[in-house]
Structure 1
């Protein structure tokens, strides 16, 4: 139902635009039959451009925003302009007609009301700035009635209605400036687009001869600016346009003034070397061009954005603070720069449920996902904005410039937190291992040795008068020694796999496989390895081989060891079913990655070419 209504509205707007364009084509033919208009080198007049461009842009706006009256006002005003100019030129070509003059008068009044009064009053939201502005519409309607009365009664007592109309239109246009003060960021930017186009479009039209015909070229800027402001205002930075224009104009004025001053001085004091003086002035202007441009740009940025400056300056400030702050405080430093640059109440980053806040964020006005090399690292949360002259375009560029710095700082915070958690786990594991060793040594091995000592004393006492009992005590003592030896072996194996000392790293990994591959490196090829590296490599290979046997259904498992400079690479590949689509890292995968990370290496698990799974770990030696 909504699509049918939208299509019907768009069809009406397109029909109005088509009718207006057809009338303007006819008017071009009519104008060709008339004598040339003095001072106009073009084959058409400004009213023709209004009758062509206004309804075309109006139909485009109606198609996308059918409920916004701006498009309808452009369509009706453009059609009225086309009717007015056609009727006027027909009277010039064929003489007055009793129906054409009232039709032209009605068309002019519709054009003046739609484009000159209602359009600036309702732009860009479609609502009046306030209720008192309704009086301007009432006055314009009364002027239209007075115009009809003067035409019907031939009343010469009602002159200068055109001047009164201009005053009413000027009042309507002034509402844009008043609306600008209390507008929000987006609405303010939309109004600025129209205010920027107004002087170019209206000054030639109101200046009269000989510059009035230039309005034919500049009048289309009005509907084009409205279309850009309503449909594409986020894609174009009006503040950038104003900034470049002000800086360029200022540079041209300063350099031209310096050049003229140098030329005048040379003509007065150095008349014989005026050419050299001109060359020196040009060189001087070139030397001081960049400092003057930088100074002017700084002043324009302060005018447009306040004291925060442009995004490039904010980026430099962020870089400086990141270089001076430690990783834990770098994110807060960049958030402070962002908060000042955007003039918001606060900015925060949510990283794994932990929030870093600069300022106050009573509610989230905008959330931006942060990624670091394609990996989500957190979410940037912005508070409500404060007052600024050009917030919308400036904010987009500030975010585009500073978000990468914030993502880097967020990634550093995550790494710092992960490192801290890893240190805590290592410390906890070390203390747990010490507690286990103490318990095993005290409760197990210590008690066993104490019992063995008591058995030896008892055997020594009973050996003289009861050799049989002493024999039984010594037999139990031998069994206890076997148990103690087993306990010691278990303790030693928990500290370091014995296979590493017996077979070396390559032999120990080969011992884990049913069919050791012939390409597995020999221990001599690996050279001397630190004990921590040997244990980590062995445990990673052991976990990978165990996972392949238990979960993948592999028929063949291949392990390789390679030493490349200061790095040791361990790979375990199987021909099993491969990784599931939604892989959740369990204790085994997590332990492999943690063992590699503790030594400053990395461990990855990915699908192997041709099927199966490939576990690859790189450890620094």
Structure 2
């Protein structure tokens, strides 16, 4: 920044010196091309250095622009000294500075800048020879100028002409390297090179023609840093787009408000000559009144010009809300991702979902199948992932937002961070909706699978057990009928066996019915059925009204307690076992403070005084079965071992108010 400020200060001083000199004959303009180079290159180079101090392009712009400023200021001061009636000739150090700074500016801006843009390295190692050649030529030019100034050698127009064309050849080769880099680059890299390549091409005619046409370079030289700025703004080359848009807006404010100030002052001088002392006050009031509205207009205009209407986070959020309102929850995520892709102007975006917790004992679902967990959803062609943004829904991670490289329309919006921050919550909501839809599909599949498995079990039991028994009984009846008249004793034995078979069939039927739902639940209620199953050695405590519970919750609680008691007796060897049942949180709840008053739940707790579950032990089928029964109803089941010893099985089962109660 100091170097850029020094260069601008030199240009300001040069304006004063130029005003004291006669108008040069080679240009109709009040400024020279070197003035434009000494102002434009250092300012933009300083902006690059602020964000990327290791970027070679920024340092080249600053150093080359400073050399141009030194060249034009030293030359004008030397000419002013020569034109003074009190001078005995121009001081030699000034003319030496003119020659050295010109050679340095030509090397930095004419050769190294196009050769190293945009990566800071030559296109290939073979181009390093051009760097050596250019340094040699400009070094000889600087030496020639110095020797002529100190009068060590006489001026040689031929040597000057040869070095000029050798330098021109080096600049042409550097321009050719940029063209070769453009030809070999991919589409994204080509867009970064195209505008600077055209800007350098605009300098060819004034440079080669020289002489009377050199003044045209006053218009083409500023196009080079402007083209680099355009490449940065439009294609995100060095990621300082926001900084430069603010610079553009600031420059527009200074120019417009300065014009308002000068215009108001001039008008007051012409129209209100008697009130000329109020002209400055009037101009200041006008400038202050229009400052904020003008800044907003310029900001919107710059953003729309450089980034398009898609770069406004507020507009994008509104468009996203409208699309989500018009689509189903399952289709909302692709619509939201498409809005984000257009807003960021990238090739593609996607959401990589976090794998949901699988039910205990269940195999994880492969990603991508219908009704199973969708591993990823996206819009456009993602390609290379340049950024990942975590998506969180009310504290729950739902996945990651994957952002691809810049697209072909425009560079990502000037406010990428604001766009992502504004749209990420909507993306997380849509992703969570997809997770819920996937969970619903998986739940339906589990219900269908469980129903079909239960039907298969019933068919097997009825066919292989009850069916075979009934077939045997039918054969026994036929045999008894045939032997009834011939051998009554044989018929009586067959009837006795038939009686035993009927008892067995009755037992099988009761077993089937018991497998569907324990009869004790209908006869004794949940607490009574558990007490009968557990026996007198187990203490059963009930809290709250346990009547009218949903049938599914009753069966799940009964089976969980049954499995927990089996484990306590079989594995823990516990002598003291306690079962507690508590209904709370809703109608008929015993402890509404213990849960959400709007969500009734049944809490089942089985504790024993055994040694507890060993650390690191894998869950068996019984423990997994308890968790599955609770998860099927949307509840939870945990197995812990308190520090004081023993094992605690605790299940919380939600009681839906619209469920069919057991009658």
TM over 0.5: yes
Tell me which residue corresponds to 2:612. 576
Provide Cα deviations, 1:503-537, integer angstroms capped at 9, x if missing partner.
Answer: 4323444566688775x542763332011111122
Pick the aligned partner of 1:532 from 552, 559, 574: 552
- Say if 1:312 and 1:154 are closer, same or farther in 2 by CA, change over 3 A: farther
CA contact (8 A) 2:391 2:401 kept: no
Tell me which residue corresponds to 1:437. 458
Give the number of the structure whose residues are more often helix, by fraction: 1
Tell me which residue corresponds to 2:121. 127
Tell me which residue corresponds to 2:306. 304
Tell me which residue corresponds to 1:603. 636
Pick the aligned partner of 1:504 from 522, 525, 542: 525
Is 1:481 equivalent to 2:502 in the alignment? Answer: yes
Provide Cα deviations, 1:374-417, integer angstroms capped at 9, x if missing partner.
Answer: 66645555555322543386555544444443343333223322
Provide Cα deviations, 1:30-78, integer angstroms capped at 9, x if missing partner.
Answer: xxxxxxxxx9xxxxxxx9xxxxxx99x99x989xx6xx76799799999
- Say if 1:616 and 1:523 are closer, same or farther in 2 by CA, change over 3 A: closer
Tell me which residue corresponds to 1:368. 388
Pick the aligned partner of 1:239 from 239, 242, 245: 242
Q: Distance in 1 between matches of 2:650 and 2:313?
A: 45
CA contact (8 A) 1:361 1:382 kept: no
Pick the aligned partner of 2:653 from 606, 618, 621: 618
Pick the aligned partner of 1:148 from 142, 146, 149: 146
Provide Cα deviations, 1:538-573, integer angstroms capped at 9, x if missing partner.
Answer: 334444555677778888765433222122233445
Q: Distance in 2 between matches of 1:241 and 1:553?
A: 76
- Say if 1:477 and 1:369 are closer, same or farther in 2 by CA, change over 3 A: farther
- What TM-score results when the alignment is normalised by the length of structure 1? 0.58
How does 1:404-419 map onto structure 2 within 5 Å?
404-419=425-440
Provide Cα deviations, 1:588-615, integer angstroms capped at 9, x if missing partner.
Answer: 565445433443x231537566376664
CA contact (8 A) 1:368 1:379 kept: yes
- Say if 1:483 and 1:604 are closer, same or farther in 2 by CA, change over 3 A: closer
Aligned length: 500
- Say if 1:555 and 1:102 are closer, same or farther in 2 by CA, change over 3 A: farther
CA contact (8 A) 2:57 2:120 kept: yes
Tell me which residue corresponds to 1:200. none
Q: Distance in 2 between matches of 1:72 and 1:296?
A: 30
How does 1:536-551 map onto structure 2 within 5 Å?
536-543=556-563
- Say if 1:247 and 1:538 are closer, same or farther in 2 by CA, change over 3 A: farther
- Say if 1:312 and 1:488 are closer, same or farther in 2 by CA, change over 3 A: same
- Say if 1:465 and 1:324 are closer, same or farther in 2 by CA, change over 3 A: same
CA contact (8 A) 2:67 2:105 kept: no
- Say if 1:590 and 1:314 are closer, same or farther in 2 by CA, change over 3 A: farther
> CA RMSD for the aligned pairs?
6.5
Q: Distance in 1 between matches of 2:635 and 2:321?
A: 29
- Say if 1:498 and 1:297 are closer, same or farther in 2 by CA, change over 3 A: farther
Tell me which residue corresponds to 1:494. 515
Q: Distance in 1 between matches of 2:513 and 2:144?
A: 110
Tell me which residue corresponds to 1:448. 469
CA contact (8 A) 2:96 2:145 kept: no
Provide Cα deviations, 1:302-333, integer angstroms capped at 9, x if missing partner.
Answer: 32323423234333333332333222212221
1:471, distance to aligned residue in structure 2 (A):
2.6
Q: Distance in 1 between matches of 2:440 and 2:413?
A: 39
- Say if 1:78 and 1:311 are closer, same or farther in 2 by CA, change over 3 A: closer
Describe the SS at the equivalent of 1:391. Answer: coil
Q: Distance in 1 between matches of 2:521 and 2:174?
A: 88
Q: Distance in 1 between matches of 2:543 and 2:459?
A: 34
Provide Cα deviations, 1:455-507, integer angstroms capped at 9, x if missing partner.
Answer: 45655675566442333122212211221122012101210133433543234
Q: Distance in 1 between matches of 2:573 and 2:507?
A: 34
Tell me which residue corresponds to 1:469. 490
Q: Distance in 2 between matches of 1:607 and 1:595?
A: 18
How does 1:12-31 map onto structure 2 within 5 Å?
none
CA contact (8 A) 2:386 2:403 kept: yes
Tell me which residue corresponds to 2:367. 353
Tell me which residue corresponds to 1:322. 324
Q: Distance in 2 between matches of 1:250 and 1:490?
A: 89
Unmatched 5+ residue regions in structure 2? 7-15, 17-37, 39-44, 72-90, 196-224, 273-281, 354-365, 369-374, 587-599, 657-663
Tell me which residue corresponds to 1:201. none
- Say if 1:527 and 1:289 are closer, same or farther in 2 by CA, change over 3 A: farther
CA contact (8 A) 2:60 2:109 kept: no
1:620, distance to aligned residue in structure 2 (A):
2.6
Q: Distance in 2 between matches of 1:236 and 1:549?
A: 68
Provide Cα deviations, 1:208-250, integer angstroms capped at 9, x if missing partner.
Answer: xxxxxxxxxxxxxx9xx99xx9xxx999753266169639967
CA contact (8 A) 2:347 2:381 kept: yes
CA contact (8 A) 2:345 2:410 kept: no
Q: Distance in 1 between matches of 2:245 and 2:138?
A: 34
Describe the SS at the equivalent of 2:462. Answer: helix
Q: Distance in 2 between matches of 1:348 and 1:456?
A: 72
Describe the SS at the equivalent of 2:120. Answer: coil
